[in-house]
Chain A
Amino acid sequence: MAAPTSRLSTIARRLGQALPALFGVIVVTFLLTRALPGDPAAYFAGPAADAKSIAQIRESLGLDRPLPEQFLLYLKDLARGEMGNSISTGQPVAEELIRRLPASLELTFFALLLSLAIAVPMGVLAATHPGKPIDHICRFIVTAGVSLPTFFTGLALVFVFYYLLGWAPSPLGRLDFAYVSPPTVTGFYVIDALLIGDLETAWAALAQLTLPAITLALFTLAPLARMTRASMLQVLSSEFIRTARAAGLSGATVLGTYAFRNAVLPVITTLGMVFSFTLGANVLVEKVFAWPGIGSYAVEALVVSDYAAVQGFVLSMAVLFVALNLVIDILYTLIDPRIQLDD
């Protein structure tokens, strides 16, 4: 059986399947800017523009041409990495987004790791003690977590840990003013500081990262813990677990090799959903903690009706999300042997 090749081809097919999603995302973003009621040129010129500059922008963006042609122009611009200029700063949107992206990614990934580290053991614990107090406690924490508006949790944490207790640094950005940001390698401050052996800066960056990351993690705890619990419960009651127990396999083998590995598959699929939540909540958390990521950039742009910046943000978030989903899909393909039969 030629398992490796068929698995490779499955991965290739998954890559292919991401293309329509990518195309759809571009079309929707394009439509959001061009095909809606109102004058897009006026949108792009910003509220302060006069009639002449609006006309100028209309021409420069090709808005006087038919829609399909505009779309081709849009695609061509995108291919060159061109997303227009921000009206408030005058800077190219694409450059600004790329500069700010590492900050957002650092926060998102750290929060997600934190969430996974808490949610998965919690789900397993709840599933192995169904109906017991520990199960109810987990369920309560999880339901409360998903009910917390992230912007509210963030503020509450700031109030308690910064204002009342003074444990946390001031909620302004990625690094206190007293420190110099480390030379960019990965763009993640904590890792970059560690790479040059600057433990103090790494610690300061981590301290800044902690509260926003906890805020985000609390929110994403619920889907992960719930799914872990549900799938673990389902797997534990399935017949092959009974077979494994009847064959006298040790508790660790039954739970780990047999139950958990099966239960983790649906958890991986929910990761996509969780990423969607996290990237959205990211915007709010960045605003609360003045985090210099692409989310706070978009919020600032929204306030001054800087549409080129907002649309650039929406598109780049969507592209990022498509890429993350692709990674999740490929991960799944690698873990689940049954997947080759699909499609």
Chain B
Amino acid sequence: MTETTLNAAAGLPEIDERSLGMRIKTQVKHIRYVLTSNPVTLLAFTLFVMIVILGIFGPWIAPYDPLATNASIALQPPSWSHWFGTDQLGRDVLSRVIVATRLDLLISVCAVAISFVAGSVVGSIAGYYGGWFDKISGRFIDTIMAFPLFVLAMGIVAALGNTVENIVYATAIINLPFYARVARAEVNIRRNAGFVQAAKLSGNSDARVLACHIFPNALPPMMVQISLNMGWAILNAAGLSFIGLGVRPPTPEWGIMVAEGANFIVSGEWWMAIFPGAALMLAVFTFNLLGDGLRDIVDPRQRT
């Protein structure tokens, strides 16, 4: 009780130490429950941690320099010294796959972050206030959605210029509608909920109602969307570089490595395309599995 009074006296928010500690404890307990009750989520979580570690420490973990060429060992199949074999220039495929993690993650994280922030702001405002902003933003989103999204991304990169930043922007733009729509729908169904009216009666301004009362409740579906979109963003970025947009050789990147390896697959040198492709698949798979698991963790109604 003394702690609480102290906090209150200092003008701190009413979340006192005791309740915060208790809430963290229940949160941890809940996360542990979700992870242990669903082995698939645990697996996804483990993979996720591994991918992040590779993304951060990749250049130090990789056994060889990903750019060092050596014509004498070109096109060697997987062996003990080169687990994933070597490519047509004698570069170590394993090292290239590991180092590529960072670039692929960076592109998709940046793209998803941009579209999450922009999409939730636009969607929340449209869903809460409605009116002309809703109409205009809705039209805008509809127009983006009127394109097959990958094709639009191609068009944007082609027009803006063939660079990595533009891959990020293009991926962000084609992801934007998903966040905007989820945010709009989730905010809209809560707009007239009892607790929102009660918050207004308690003297919360509209902006505060939206930011502190409605949006946190709309977050769980948004989180699931993020996780699912991460996989999709990685796929898109890799797809764009597969057709020769964005990342240029010799930079190691999964999509471009698959594209380079594609020429050799009909003659049986499969390792150059299959390993980076498998890495790509595993990363996307991890995020997709995580999406399902995350829903259980974030949703407070699942907690008891």
A117 contacts the other chain (CB 8 A): no
Query: Inter-chain contact count A-B, CB under 8 Å?
Result: 163
Q: Is B239 a contact of A151 with CB atoms below 8 Å?
A: yes
Q: Is A283 a contact of B151 with CB atoms below 8 Å?
A: yes
| Distance, CA A301 to CA B278, complexed state (A) | 29
Chain A residues whose CB sits within 8 angstroms of the CB of B153 once the complex forms:
280
The smallest C-beta distance from B112 to any residue of chain A, in angstroms, reads 16
Q: Which of B255, B258, B284, B288 contacts A155 (CB 8 A)?
A: B258
Categorize the interface residue count of chain B: 35 or more
Q: Is A317 a contact of B143 with CB atoms below 8 Å?
A: no
Q: Which of A33, A149, A170 contacts B284 (CB 8 A)?
A: A149
Chain A residues whose CB sits within 8 angstroms of the CB of B139 once the complex forms:
20, 24
The smallest C-beta distance from A177 to any residue of chain B, in angstroms, reads 16
Interface segment out of the listed B26-34, B114-122, B263-271: B263-271
Chain B residues whose CB sits within 8 angstroms of the CB of A280 once the complex forms:
148-151, 153, 239
8 Å CB interface, A273-288 against B? 275-281, 283-284, 287-288
Q: Is A162 a contact of B147 with CB atoms below 8 Å?
A: no
The smallest C-beta distance from B180 to any residue of chain A, in angstroms, reads 15
Q: Is A143 a contact of B146 with CB atoms below 8 Å?
A: no
A159 contacts the other chain (CB 8 A): yes
Chain B residues whose CB sits within 8 angstroms of the CB of A143 once the complex forms:
285, 288-289
Chain A residues whose CB sits within 8 angstroms of the CB of B164 once the complex forms:
none
Q: Which of A27, A151, A314 contacts B155 (CB 8 A)?
A: A314
Residue contacts A-B, CB under 8 angstroms, 21 given: A21-B142, A21-B143, A24-B143, A33-B159, A143-B288, A144-B285, A146-B284, A146-B288, A147-B282, A149-B277, A151-B262, A156-B274, A163-B267, A170-B266, A275-B148, A284-B239, A287-B242, A288-B262, A310-B155, A314-B154, A317-B147
Chain A residues whose CB sits within 8 angstroms of the CB of B167 once the complex forms:
none
Q: Is A307 a contact of B158 with CB atoms below 8 Å?
A: yes
The smallest C-beta distance from B188 to any residue of chain A, in angstroms, reads 16
A8 contacts the other chain (CB 8 A): no
8 Å CB interface, B118-176 against A? 139, 142-156, 158-161
Q: Is A279 a contact of B242 with CB atoms below 8 Å?
A: no
Chain B residues whose CB sits within 8 angstroms of the CB of A284 once the complex forms:
239, 242-243
Summarize A's interface: helix, strand, loop or mixed: helix
| Distance, CA A29 to CA B143, complexed state (A) | 11
Chain A residues whose CB sits within 8 angstroms of the CB of B239 once the complex forms:
149-151, 280-281, 283-284
Q: Is B284 a contact of A147 with CB atoms below 8 Å?
A: yes
8 Å CB interface, B212-258 against A? 231, 235, 238-239, 242-245, 255, 258
| Distance, CA A112 to CA B278, complexed state (A) | 25
A321 contacts the other chain (CB 8 A): yes
CB nearest neighbor in B for A148:
B281
Q: Is A279 a contact of B151 with CB atoms below 8 Å?
A: yes
CB nearest neighbor in B for A313:
B151
| Distance, CA A283 to CA B280, complexed state (A) | 19
Q: Is A318 a contact of B277 with CB atoms below 8 Å?
A: no
- Further 15 A-B residue pairs, CB within 8 A, beyond A151-B258, A155-B273: A25-B143, A36-B160, A37-B161, A147-B231, A148-B284, A149-B239, A149-B284, A155-B258, A158-B265, A163-B268, A280-B151, A302-B154, A310-B155, A311-B155, A314-B155
| Distance, CA A299 to CA B241, complexed state (A) | 11
Provide the A132-169 mask, 1 if CB < 8 A to any CB of B, else 0.
00000000000110111111100110110011000000
The smallest C-beta distance from A286 to any residue of chain B, in angstroms, reads 10
Q: Is A276 a contact of B273 with CB atoms below 8 Å?
A: no
Chain B residues whose CB sits within 8 angstroms of the CB of A299 once the complex forms:
243-244
The smallest C-beta distance from A33 to any residue of chain B, in angstroms, reads 7
The smallest C-beta distance from B253 to any residue of chain A, in angstroms, reads 12
The smallest C-beta distance from B93 to any residue of chain A, in angstroms, reads 14
B297 contacts the other chain (CB 8 A): no
Q: Which of A146, A151, A170 contacts B259 (CB 8 A)?
A: A151
CB nearest neighbor in B for A299:
B243
Chain A residues whose CB sits within 8 angstroms of the CB of B242 once the complex forms:
149, 151, 284, 287
CB nearest neighbor in A for B152:
A314
CB nearest neighbor in A for B143:
A24
Given known contacts A159-B274, A310-B158, A322 and B245 CB-to-CB distance under 8 angstroms? no
CB nearest neighbor in B for A142:
B288
Q: Which of A163, A170, A322 contacts B146 (CB 8 A)?
A: A322
Q: Is A28 a contact of B143 with CB atoms below 8 Å?
A: yes
Given known contacts A32-B155, A156-B274, A284-B242, A149 and B160 CB-to-CB distance under 8 angstroms? no
CB nearest neighbor in B for A284:
B239
Q: Which of A24, A275, A302, A311 contacts B243 (CB 8 A)?
A: A302
